[in-house]
Structure 1
């Protein structure tokens, strides 16, 4: 029987209008790569979806922001997006996360997909899905078939322009990751930074996180150890949303830019999400294709 295939992009989401570009760029790249396969968006953050639902019913907001696409105004959670596709007759789904690390959000998403894939009916033809497969986050996931270390190397290679820009300013490159106080994702971030230093030895690349380890304090210590005086700050986040505009470079005294400036560093901010970087976006496209291939599905 012919499969009806679709891709669901599972994104944390953002409420910052300007940051939507990073998310929509990923969707456009996926549609370009697989023009015969419908692509749907889903936001995994309950709070962000609530904000968009409120905005979608506010005439003043809609008038002030006429360029917000309907995909965003009508955004759904992952379960609702999948249910709608199933109701429309799609029985083969590739769920591709745009999360950076295989941490809390990804594990919740994986639990949803496993649960849906486990559904059995008395008559096999009434199963809701022939196939539902889950792709890997940016920095990979736990797999016996696709080593996460390879994914980290690919990400580091894709960020050559960041290293070149930092080098042109004679600056260290400091990324802001999200992190998690309850999930040990710090090792992945540190391995990524180590690969950046390996590939681009002329640039000191470091990473800290908003939550958990490594913290900005560790980065400051490393900068002092290496005698660095100039720092290029950039979000290691899919979108340059609230963390980038508030925690990274706002004039507030606890922003990273303010802290580093007080510590005596010259700071060069680059406010651009990873979703706006074409080489990074193509990694998500490749991860979707690999998840499909592992499940015996060909995207077209």
Structure 2
């Protein structure tokens, strides 16, 4: 969905993503989530905003593609006369990006009759169960005794970083002892992951992004040819490595969780 879904309405869902300059992955993930929202909530106009100004500027310069930042999108909704506005972030967790978004949205609480900020992917206990189910289902083909399945999360300095350990624990509890969750910018990091994997009797490692979009981190930090990439680090340890460059947004079960969070935000107006 390169442009906002145009519909004359006083009700809008603003899908807010960090953004990515990888066009194919963007439409398979962020675009797919937005199309899911369009399908589930036909009475609402669905619009797009990115939080990364760097990516916004890059897309404008490289492709001539104009994407609003959050402030621009909120101002546009207000100027159009939107009365009911749902903000649906495509963030994985309640980290600094989500908190910054919440602060920005608060500034506009008096400009709309109804304004609600929906939850990110991993919020409630049921979300963790559903995400665990989804990633197990989508990786079942790689679940072999001699294979370690490793997920790369982004990581955050915020308290919400514990979602990775929680998801790890849930996978282990379900018997998936060969599934490991790490992060690229926090803990557990690649060193922690390698230590865990080396305790097992694995010959192969499968790497997947635990991110909505398979963007820069997935293509470079995970699957790149730099000596510090996860792929190269595991290869140096003697493992055969396979990289799967699919963002979570490509998964229909993951997209459904976002639409459910949108529904909860809509219901909040009636409670």
What TM-score, normalized to structure 2? 0.92
Asked if structure 2 preserves the Cα contact closer than 8 Å seen for 1:159 and 1:279, the reply is: no
How far did 1:295 drift?
2.7
2:261 matched residue in structure 1: 287
SS of residue in 1 equivalent to 2:108? helix
1:108 equivalent to 2:100? Answer yes
How far did 1:112 drift?
1.1
Asked if structure 2 preserves the Cα contact closer than 8 Å seen for 1:173 and 1:203, the reply is: no
1:158 equivalent to 2:150? Answer no
State how far apart, in whole Å, the 2-side matches of 1:296 and 1:113 are.
20
How far did 1:203 drift?
4.9
Asked if structure 2 preserves the Cα contact closer than 8 Å seen for 1:4 and 1:89, the reply is: yes
- 1:140-219 equivalences in 2 (<5 Å): 140=123, 148-168=124-144, 170-180=146-156, 182-199=157-174, 201-219=175-193
1:6 equivalent to 2:12? Answer yes
Cα shift readout 1:109-166 (whole Å, capped 9, x = no counterpart): 011112211x3xxxxxxxx2111101111111xxxxxxx2222112112223234122
Cα shift readout 1:62-92 (whole Å, capped 9, x = no counterpart): xxxxxxxxxxx12101111121112111111
SS of residue in 1 equivalent to 2:143? helix
SS of residue in 2 equivalent to 1:160? helix
Determine which of 24, 39, 56 is the counterpart of 1:32.
39
State how far apart, in whole Å, the 1-side matches of 2:236 and 2:69 are.
41
Structure 1 segments unaligned to the other structure (5+ residues): 58-72, 120-127, 141-147
SS of residue in 1 equivalent to 2:159? coil
Asked if structure 1 preserves the Cα contact closer than 8 Å seen for 2:145 and 2:202, the reply is: no
Asked if structure 1 preserves the Cα contact closer than 8 Å seen for 2:16 and 2:87, the reply is: yes
State how far apart, in whole Å, the 2-side matches of 1:218 and 1:262 are.
15
1:15 equivalent to 2:21? Answer yes
2:252 matched residue in structure 1: 278
What TM-score, normalized to structure 1? 0.83
State how far apart, in whole Å, the 2-side matches of 1:177 and 1:108 are.
20
1:231 matched residue in structure 2: 205
Q: Do the aligned partners of residues 226 and 39 (structure 1) sit closer, same or farther apart at CA in structure 2, a change above 3 Å counting?
A: same
What is the count of residue pairs matched by the alignment?
Answer: 262
Determine which of 181, 189, 196 is the counterpart of 1:222.
196
RMSD, aligned α-carbons = 1.7
State how far apart, in whole Å, the 1-side matches of 2:207 and 2:14 are.
32
How far did 1:198 drift?
2.6
Determine which of 109, 114, 117 is the counterpart of 1:131.
114
1:250 equivalent to 2:224? Answer yes
Q: Do the aligned partners of residues 151 and 202 (structure 1) sit closer, same or farther apart at CA in structure 2, a change above 3 Å counting?
A: closer
Higher-Rg structure is 1
Asked if structure 2 preserves the Cα contact closer than 8 Å seen for 1:163 and 1:203, the reply is: no
